[in-house]
């Protein structure tokens, strides 16, 4: 009788331990899922354009709307650009090999920020500052480091080609990415 009682007590104890183990495992899984979903960063492409015939006309503005889902948010804005060998040497005068553009951002609260950028894609001797891959030169260039998106909503981006001659030749692709650094 004592042996049967002992076996039954062990069985009850094992079942209790299994329940506790299952509950603990479920709690760990739920906690992990919550932490992962809470720390998911908003890394997105704001705008991406493949240029027809590798040319960007002077007044062909690039427009995009970027939706910030959770604010405040801090992010780096990075420009990715791909150019060909003809960038921008098709004109008869000497050029410094720069990509010049203006980026304007309208915030949901009605404020606006605008800045002109000049990126030298070639060195002083006219050589590209990037290695050629499959016939193109690729660049990753910083636009705004740790930009603060103070409120959720739509941010409207406008990119303007500021190259002095029309059109700018040799530009294959341009994209801007928003890489979240902080919530």
Q: Structural domain boundaries of the chain?
A: 1-40, 44-182
Tokens of 128: 């590209």
pLDDT in tens, 33-90: 444 444 567 789 999 999 999 999 989 999 999 999 999 999 999 999 999 998 876 6
Mean pLDDT estimate for the chain: 83
The secondary structure of 51-120 as a DSSP string is PGGGEE-TT--EEEEEEE-SSSEEEEEEEEEEE-TTTTTTSSS----EEEEEEEEE-TTS-EEEEEEEEE
Q: What is the dihedral of CA 88, 89, 93, 95, to 10 degrees?
A: 50
Query: Is residue 101 scored above 50 in pLDDT?
Result: yes
What is residue 118's predicted lDDT score, i.e. its pLDDT?
A: 94
What is residue 37's predicted lDDT score, i.e. its pLDDT?
A: 44
Q: Please state which CATH number belongs to domain 44-182.
A: 2.60.120
What is residue 117's predicted lDDT score, i.e. its pLDDT?
A: 96
């Amino acid at each position: 009788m004592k042996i049967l009682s002992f076996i039954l007590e062990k069985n009850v104890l094992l079942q209790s331990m299994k329940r506790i183990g299952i509950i603990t495992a479920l709690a760990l899984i739920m906690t992990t899922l919550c932490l992962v979903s809470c720390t998911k960063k908003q890394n997105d492409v704001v705008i991406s354009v493949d240029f027809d015939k590798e040319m960007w006309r002077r007044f062909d503005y690039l427009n995009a709307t970027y939706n910030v889902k959770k604010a405040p948010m801090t992010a780096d804005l990075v420009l990715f650009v791909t150019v060909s060998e003809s960038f921008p040497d098709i004109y008869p005068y000497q050029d410094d090999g720069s990509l010049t553009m203006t980026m304007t951002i309208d915030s949901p609260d009605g404020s606006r920020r605008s800045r002109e950028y000049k990126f030298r894609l070639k060195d002083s001797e006219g050589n590209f500052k990037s290695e050629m891959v499959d016939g193109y030169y690729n660049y990753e260039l910083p636009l705004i480091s740790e930009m603060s998106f103070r409120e959720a909503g739509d941010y409207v981006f406008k990119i303007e080609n500021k190259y002095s001659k029309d059109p700018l030749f040799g530009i294959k692709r341009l994209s801007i990415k928003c890489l979240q650094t902080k919530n």
